[in-house]
Chains A and B, each alone.
Chain A
């Protein structure tokens, strides 16, 4: 069966420090991968999606970047965190070409920038 792993679960980082959040999927190949952010008390905003290795699409301009170095690995990064980067980050995957089958989410990373 397919599983999605996301870590760390919580993170407290100072302003100006770098960030690296990792997401991996097991039990499938060629998934579409997504990073979402949920700011406190708000809905989920799509940040990045990827349909293949090295292919990244950004939905909103921001302080963050994403990379997909391997088929089932998706990384969210920042060189210098801002206070506004605080939030709950969720990784998700879906079967390529079969988005109708549904999206499965990781357990999330709660990031607090201080």
Chain B
């Protein structure tokens, strides 16, 4: 069965500091997809990134970067020079079972990390 662990329940940093959110996943499938979503106080889930299991290249998008390491089953998210607007709950999620179950059975989410950026 798949599982996503976000061990950091809450992180508080001062603005402009760099911060890394950890995500560790478990799956028996060789084909899977990993996602990060941002949930601001308003509640909606904002898609940030998708990564498939065959692409281990790290990705950078502005102040955001993601480090995918299959060897440690981790998909960590780093915000550089954090800003107050980055304050939100961040979820890591996994989608697998593309061959065994068709992959239709949704995303498995971690419990989320509440990121607080203090001015």
Contacts and interface: CB of A to CB of B under 8 A. Distances in A.
A49 B103 CA distance: 11
A90 B37 CA distance: 13
A13 interface: no
Contact of A103 (B42, B43, B107): B107
Interface stretch (B11-19, B74-82, B109-117): B109-117
Interface string A79-91: 0000000001010
Nearest to B31: A100
A19 interface: no
Where chain B touches its partner, the secondary structure class is: loop
Interface stretch (B20-28, B44-52, B60-68): B44-52
Contacts of B105: 46, 49, 57, 59
A34 interface: yes
Among A46, A101, A106: residue with most chain B CB under 10 A: A46
B81 to A, nearest CB: 27
A46 B43 contact: no
A97 B87 CA distance: 34
Interface residues of B, number: 24
A104 B65 CA distance: 21
A11 interface: no
A109 B42 CA distance: 11
Contacts of A100: 33, 50, 52, 95, 98, 103
A43 B35 contact: no
Interface string B79-119: 00000000000010001001000111111111110000000
Contacts of A45: 109
30 contacts: A32-B104, A36-B106, A42-B111, A43-B91, A43-B109, A43-B110, A44-B107, A44-B109, A45-B109, A46-B105, A46-B106, A46-B108, A49-B106, A59-B106, A92-B107, A99-B33, A99-B95, A99-B103, A100-B50, A100-B95, A101-B50, A102-B35, A103-B47, A103-B107, A105-B45, A107-B43, A107-B44, A108-B43, A108-B44, A110-B43
Interface of B: 33, 35, 37, 42-45, 47, 50, 52, 91, 95, 98, 102-112
